[in-house]
Structure 1
Amino acid sequence: MTNRRAFLTGLGATALISATPAARAATGTALHVLSSPNCGCCHAWADLARARGYAVTVEDLTDPGAQKAARGVPANLVSCHTVDADGYVFEGHVPFEAMEAVLRDRPDITGLAVPGMPMGSPGMGDDPNARYDVIAFGGSAGAGRVFYRAGTQRPFDV
């Protein structure tokens, strides 16, 4: 028979083990998603973010060109949704590992973008083997440079 103290200790240890580092880091981080109206993949990305522990709000884009430009997103890097998070901008289907690296390491950039809507990216099929580039823009990245290569064994070695 298990006593109360042993049960509570085991319950606490289980909670610590089951919470991944990414989920622990994400808890409480607010993501404001500006979504293309009626876009299912934008909402799929937001749902994946919620599942990782982010506090997500979604608002429809009313003037996408102006709203993206105001956040410093270069026209050649646009996608369907734009995310404001902790002083950074994430354009499109940015993988969470790349976004979490930016939020953790705080590089001198405006944000990250996944131009277009690549199949297999988060919200577009969620295939961990999908290959596409994540581009850093603004600040030290200037007009853009590859920050992360999704679907590769060494995604940050660019």
Structure 2
Amino acid sequence: MKILFKLAMVLLYLPMLAHSETTPEIANELQLFVHKTPTCGCCKKWLHHLEQQGITATGVDHQDLGTIKQQYGVLPQYRSCHTAVSQQGFFFEGHVPAKFIRHFLTSPLPDAIGLSVPAMPVGSPGMEVGDNFMPYRVLVLFSDGSSRVFARVNNYQEQF
């Protein structure tokens, strides 16, 4: 399984590396590899959110995401329905808005391993239900298992 995952990662990023010398803007393009289940509709909506915000997102379906989450160190209390991974190896768990992914990757914190929006807050990207919105926190997760608040999202507009 690990060999297949590594092969998939190489194949995903090979085109970007092949063109990085001739077109530097491609090297700056943000790309995520998104592990999800094939039947999750909110994951597909979150992928659409990323693409609308200029992030290239490639979805990969799995029947069981437990191994992926374990591999990246996503502890159970921080888990959600999908796990995205950047070229740099950081993960983004759940419905993290694209704006916070960009901000995090611009200046990652020491010992940080990723961001998480635990559970599935109503109104977060991919979880839109009419005009309903539930304020939530984006957490930054560290290699020692700790976390702290990276951002507070109090209304729908703050996600963009």
Q: With structure 2 as the length reference, what TM-score do the two structures score?
A: 0.71
User: What does residue 139 of structure 2 align with?
Assistant: 135
Query: Is 1:79 paired with 2:80?
Result: yes
User: How many percent of aligned residue pairs carry the same amino acid?
Assistant: 37
- Measured in 2, the distance between the counterparts of 1:116 and 1:37 equals 18
User: What does residue 128 of structure 2 align with?
Assistant: 125
User: SS of the residue aligned with 2:121?
Assistant: coil
Query: Is 1:116 paired with 2:119?
Result: yes
User: What does residue 101 of structure 2 align with?
Assistant: 99
> What is the one-letter code of the residue matched to 1:83?
A
User: SS of the residue aligned with 1:100?
Assistant: helix
- Measured in 2, the distance between the counterparts of 1:113 and 1:73 equals 9
Deviation at 1:143, TM superposition (A): 1.9
Deviation at 1:142, TM superposition (A): 4.0
Q: Is the 8 A contact 2:80 2:93 kept in 1?
A: yes
User: SS of the residue aligned with 1:110?
Assistant: strand
Deviation at 1:63, TM superposition (A): 2.8
CA offset digits 1:3-39 (Å, max 9, x no partner) = xxxxxxxxxxxxxxxxxxxxx9xx7211111112210
User: What does residue 60 of structure 1 align with?
Assistant: 61
- Measured in 2, the distance between the counterparts of 1:42 and 1:105 equals 26
Range 50-59 or range 143-152, more displaced: 143-152
Deviation at 1:106, TM superposition (A): 2.1
User: What does residue 152 of structure 2 align with?
Assistant: 149
Note the residue ranges of structure 1 that are not aligned, 5 or more in a row.
1-23
Q: Is the 8 A contact 1:128 1:151 kept in 2?
A: no
Range 102-111 or range 124-133, more displaced: 124-133
CA offset digits 1:75-101 (Å, max 9, x no partner) = 111000000013210000011222111
Q: With structure 1 as the length reference, what TM-score do the two structures score?
A: 0.72
Deviation at 1:130, TM superposition (A): 3.9
Deviation at 1:137, TM superposition (A): 0.8
Structure label with greater radius of gyration: 1
Q: CA RMSD in A?
A: 2.7
